């Protein structure tokens, strides 16, 4: 699986690699492109089901994920969306032994673009005066806090860890309405829940 992904990415990137090298060279050059993990999620305003891959950076204190999400008709769609999600893991993971680690606090910002003719990235200039609407209807800026548990698979092959996570999230428009009703509506009411699975790849 990982090898297949590696090969696909390298085949795509070889033409951009400048000097033609042998297979080993380009494999090494492309190594950093191989994702560190994949995530599959239920709910959380980025799709009924969503899935994607991502990278760890900043000494494993942060993750950047590229996610595609889908809402089928029976759950309020059809809606397709693409999400760029950054998660920070600010505190040291708690080593619980037997391969288990526990991150009790994560915080993140997902940016989600929902596809469709009825949504605009920016209000069309030929249709609306400047600043007619304050927000994009296609692009949402989110915010979440969460936590997760991971299990490191002993003698692992391509998949070296598996974990579960949850996120309590909201987004710009709900925050907007909350601020205008400050003191009269409950903060918790603008948050909703997401549950996901993370699979780590060995390198």
Partner 1 sequence: MKKYLFDYSFYKAVMVVLIITFGSCEDPFQYNPNEVLLSDDEKDLNHKNINRIEAIPQKDTLRFILISDTHHEYEDLDDFVELVNAKNDIDFVLISGDLTNFGLQTEYRETNDRLKKLKIPYVAVIGNHDLLGNGEKVFKEMYGNLNFHFKCNNHKFMMINTNSREYNFNGNVPDLDFLRSELNDTSAYNHAYVIGHVPPFNNDFDPDLVNSYTSILAETGRVKFAAHGHTGGFSIVDWYNNGVPYVQVDDMGARSYVLVKAGNNLISVENIIF
Task: Give the interface with partner 1 as residue ranges (CB under 8 A).
Answer: 42-48, 69, 71, 75-77, 79, 81, 94-97, 100, 102, 112, 114, 116, 118-119, 124, 126-128, 133, 135, 137-138, 140, 149, 166, 168, 171, 173-174, 176-177, 180-181, 184-185, 188-189, 192-194
Q: Crossing angle for the helix pair 23-30 and 2-13, nearest 10 degrees?
A: 100
Closest contact distance (angstroms) between CB of 85 and partner 1 is 14
**Least distance in Å: CB of 84 to partner 1?**
16
Nearer to partner 1, 17 or 96 (CB): 96
Q: Which among 131, 133, 137, 85 has a CA at the least distance from the CA of 116?
A: 137
User: Which of 101, 111, 106, 157 lies closest to 136, judged by CA?
Assistant: 111
Nearer to partner 1, 5 or 168 (CB): 168
CA 13 to centroid of chain Cα atoms: 23
Taking the complex as a whole, how short is the minimal distance between the CB of residue 141 and partner 1, in angstroms?
11
Least separation in angstroms between CB 3 and partner 1: 34
Nearer CB in complex with partner 1: 159/178: 178
Q: Are the C-beta atoms of 54 and 65 separated by less than 8 Å?
A: yes
Residue 22 DSSP label: -
Six token digits for residue 10? 């390298």
Smallest gap from residue 93 Cβ to partner 1 (A): 11
3-state helix, strand, coil in the chain (%, to 5): 20, 45, 35
């Amino acid at each position: 699986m990982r090898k297949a992904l590696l090969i696909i990415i390298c085949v795509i990137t070889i033409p951009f690699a400048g000097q033609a090298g042998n297979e080993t060279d380009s494999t090494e050059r492309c190594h950093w492109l191989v994702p560190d993990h994949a995530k599959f999620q239920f709910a959380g305003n980025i799709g009924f089901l969503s899935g994607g891959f991502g990278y760890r950076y900043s000494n494993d204190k942060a993750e950047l994920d590229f996610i595609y999400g889908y809402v089928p008709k029976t759950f309020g769609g059809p809606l397709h969306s693409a999400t760029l999600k950054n998660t920070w893991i600010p505190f040291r993971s708690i080593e619980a032994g037997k391969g288990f680690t526990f991150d009790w606090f994560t915080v993140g910002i997902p940016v989600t673009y929902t596809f469709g003719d009825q949504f605009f990235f920016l209000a069309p200039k030929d249709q609306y005066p400047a600043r007619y609407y304050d927000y994009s209807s296609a692009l949402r800026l989110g915010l979440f806090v969460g936590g997760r548990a991971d299990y490191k698979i002993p003698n692992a092959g391509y998949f070296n860890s598996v974990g579960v996570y949850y996120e309590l999230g909201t987004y710009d428009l709900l925050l907007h309405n909350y601020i205008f009703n400050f003191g009269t509506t409950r903060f918790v009411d603008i948050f909703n829940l997401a549950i996901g699975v993370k699979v780590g790849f060995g390198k």
